[in-house]
Every structure is written in C-alpha cells, then in structure tokens.
C-alpha cells in the first residue's frame, strides 16, 4: 500500500437500514436472503394488464406511520418515506448517538433513478380529472430527487455534506462511494448513504415496458428475474431503499461500535456509448472495477466474492461477465459471484444500496447468497455465479458492481473489519 493510501482516513460501516421486498430492517433482510426465494409476483399496484410485462417485486404492507409521525408522513411521498425509514433503522442498528455529535460533521447522500416521479404521475392524474385544487400542495417539494437526502437531513438535524444523485441504476452505489470519500478526505465524520426508489406506478412501469427492457414471464413471476440464466428475458422492476451508516474508523472504534465491514474503495466511469446498451467488451465497466481496487489498495487475487450487477437482461449479463474476466483474468474463474436481483428484482437506484448492504453482511456473517433464478447457465456467462444454494465463505475482500442506463458504472470494495 502506498503512502497516499496510508494517509487517508479509514471508513467503517456501522449500521444498515432497509425497506425491501424480502424484508424491512437488517435482520429481516438477512432472513430473506437465507430463505433463498424470489419475492417477485404479479404487479398489482396498478392495472398491469395493458403491458407485455406484468411482474414486479412489491413491498406490500409498508406502513410509514409505524416509524414516522402521521402529520410528517403526509409531507413525504413513498420514495422519501422509504429513505427516511431506512435511515431511522440504520441509525438504530448503529447505536449512534447523534445528540452527542457535531451534526455539521454528519451528512446524507442518496441515489435514485426516478425520485418522486411515481408520485408526480398520481398527482397528474388528479389534476387531469379535478383541476389544480385537487393536487397535493407538497408536490413541488416531493417530486425532486434531492428530497430524499434533504428530508433525511431535516429528520435528524444533520447539516454536513448532502446530495442525491440521479445516475440511474448505479446511483445508490455512487451515493455510498461519494459519502465514503467525504469521510476519507476529512469533510465529514459520519454519513448516511444509500438509495431509494418507488417506481411502481403505471406510467413509470409502462415506460420500461415500452422499451422491452422487462421480463414477460408473466405466467411464472417467481422465476422471472433470472440473472446469468440462458433463458433470461429482461429485468423485473422492484422498489425500496437501503441506507448504510458510514463512520470514520477511529470514531467508530472509540465508541465501541459494531463494524460490519470497512469501506475501502470506489470507482466510477462512463461507457460514453449508448443510453441503454452497455459498451461491447465491457472496457469501461472493467476500468471502473480496477479503479475501485486501486483505490482500496487491493489486487484482483485479493477478492473473495463479487456481488454482481446481474440485472437479468440479455445484454448486461454477458457484458459484465466479460468485464470481470478483463479485470481478474484466470482468478475470475475461482471467485464465487452472485447477483441478488433474483430475490427482489431491480429497484433501479436503490439496487446498488441493497447490494452494498448485502456485501457487508456477507463479510460479517460468512455466507454468500446464491443467484436465485439461475437454473440453466448461459454459455457466455461461464463463471461461478453460485446457482442453487448459498455458500459458507469467509470473504475478506468483496466487490459490489452497479451499472446503469447512460453507460454509468460504479464499483465498491469492502474489506473484513
């Protein structure tokens, strides 16, 4: 490790909070992973019969008033509710006492692909039917993506670095990476970071159905999300949020915090190629992963597990396979790799945050989840994508990949604490 890496501050992951289709809260998420079953079912939040794709990974039974005052809930759309509740759960899990901290040194960074667009769609329908008086007065404040991190800041009174990026399916991962840099480089001591998405509204869903990006396995939704499988036919839309508590290492140690893992590297690049198709050959995705490894002071043979983006789309999965081979060479064939989107579909900007949380848990608990839905491996996807059941693996270094529309690539490197 070179001198510049030694001079940087270390960053611990000390809390995990989430609202996902397989569980709300860190222990429910873990139990959902250990169940090794898909949460995908028929899309019932709206009339999906008009679309070719009619599957979704919904969070049913979510009641924001279980956590947030009813008056405040009315000022938050579902996307912001997910973000605030996940943050509450993460802070609770971390046992961090914000009252004892300088809150100017605590910030929030989130990612989202669509922000409050689903809510705006509902309000547009009200406007069309009943006029402006029927529209929620909070619409202008709810629809923009930044409402996630801003509402988190307001909820907890934290005035440090704050941003919500909108870099499609890589945005949650990028938010965590950028928050990591804020602590590493001395701008903050604690960051709440992750992603939130609530896209299950008829036009949002229809927009992706229109470009034929989603699975049409409507007769068997539990097997519709099947990353790296020869019979995959598109992703399955999901929803939810996940937030990590990132904390300066010495601060975490001084208070005796539980540390899931160390966040140690981050890379991001752009394909500069196409809005929906990845760059053939995966050169920029590979460069992104290599940058994250370099940032962590790690080499390819250090890596014990990769949580793949694995979106279950015809183009992404083989391109990611090639990108992994470009970085890891022969070692690529010895690394267990899985995509967890078989469990909960693709929650767009929240997915990278789900997967960073899962990567931290895999390190801490010594078990890596399988690629649910992978039954017949694609000949082009010829690495060890962990089909069937999860594995007991003591992973010391883990890479989490996220790739999104617009050619955006993001990778995180986590280490055993």
Q: Which helix (H) or strand (E) holds 306?
A: strand 305-307
CA distance 356 to 172: 9
> CA 105, 170, 77 angle in degrees (round to 5)?
70
Contacts of 163 (CB under 8 A, 6+ apart): 109, 110, 146, 149, 175, 178
In whole angstroms, how far apart are CA 321 and each of 140, 172, 276, 309? 42, 22, 18, 10
User: How many beta carbons lie within 10 A of that of residue 53, not counting itself?
Assistant: 25
Strand, helix or coil for residue 28: helix
246 forms beta bridges with: 13, 191
Looking at residue 372, what DSSP letter applies?
Answer: T
Burial (CB count <10 Å: 0-12, 13-18, 19+), residue 244: buried
Query: Among residues 150, 169, 288, 381, which one is catalytic?
Result: 169
Tokens 């040194």, located at residue: 105
Do residues 43 and 58 make contact, with C-beta atoms less than 8 angstroms apart?
yes
Q: Which two tokens stand for residue 233?
A: 């036919």
Strand, helix or coil for residue 237: strand
* φ and ψ of 404, to 5 deg: -140, 175
Strand, helix or coil for residue 321: helix
Q: Which two tokens stand for residue 210?
A: 């229109």
Tokens 């794709």, located at residue: 53
Burial (CB count <10 Å: 0-12, 13-18, 19+), residue 255: middle
Is 163 part of the annotated catalytic residue set? Answer: no
Do residues 117 and 156 make contact, with C-beta atoms less than 8 angstroms apart?
no
177 forms beta bridges with: none
Longest dimension (CA), the chain: 64
- As annotated, the active-site residues are 169
């Amino acid at each position: 490790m070179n001198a510049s890496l030694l001079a940087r501050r270390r960053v611990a992951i000390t809390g995990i909070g989430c609202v996902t289709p397989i569980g709300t809260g860190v222990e429910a998420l873990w139990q959902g992973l250990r169940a090794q079953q898909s949460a995908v079912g028929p899309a019932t939040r709206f009339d999906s019969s008009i679309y070719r794709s009619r599957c979704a990974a919904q969070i049913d039974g979510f009641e924001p008033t279980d956590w947030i005052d009813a008056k405040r809930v009315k000022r938050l759309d579902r996307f912001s509710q997910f973000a605030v509740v996940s943050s509450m759960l993460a802070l609770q899990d971390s046992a961090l006492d914000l009252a004892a901290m300088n809150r100017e040194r605590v910030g929030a960074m989130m990612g989202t692909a669509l922000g409050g667009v689903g809510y705006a769609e509902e309000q547009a329908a009200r406007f069309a039917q009943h006029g402006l008086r029927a529209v929620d007065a909070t619409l202008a404040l709810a629809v923009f993506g930044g409402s996630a991190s801003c509402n988190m800041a307001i909820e907890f009174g934290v005035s440090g670095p704050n941003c919500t990026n909108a870099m499609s399916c890589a945005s949650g991962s990028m938010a965590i990476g950028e928050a990591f840099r804020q602590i590493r480089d001395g701008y903050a001591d604690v960051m709440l970071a992750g992603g939130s998405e609530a896209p299950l509204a008829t036009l949002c869903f229809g927009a992706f159905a229109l470009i034929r990006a989603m699975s049409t396995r409507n007769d068997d939704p539990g097997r519709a999300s099947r990353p790296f499988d020869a019979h995959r036919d598109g992703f399955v839309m999901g929803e939810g949020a996940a937030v990590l508590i990132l904390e300066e290492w010495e601060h975490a140690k001084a208070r005796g915090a539980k540390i899931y893992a160390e966040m140690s590297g981050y890379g991001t690049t752009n394909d500069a190629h196409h809005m929906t198709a990845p760059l053939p050959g995966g050169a920029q995705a590979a460069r992104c992963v290599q940058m994250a490894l370099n940032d962590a002071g790690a080499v390819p043979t250090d890596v014990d597990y990769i949580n793949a983006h694995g979106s279950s789309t015809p183009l992404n999965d083989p391109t990611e396979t090639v990108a992994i081979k470009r970085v890891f060479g022969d070692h690529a064939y010895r690394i267990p790799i899985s995509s967890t989107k078989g469990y909960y579909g693709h929650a767009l900007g929240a997915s990278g945050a789900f997967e960073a949380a899962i990567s931290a848990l895999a390190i801490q608990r010594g078990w890596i989840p399988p690629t649910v839905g992978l039954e017949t491996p694609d000949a082009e996807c010829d690495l060890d994508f962990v089909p069937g059941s999860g594995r007991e693996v003591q992973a010391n270094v883990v890479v989490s990949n996220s790739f999104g529309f617009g050619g955006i690539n993001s990778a995180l490197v986590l280490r055993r604490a």
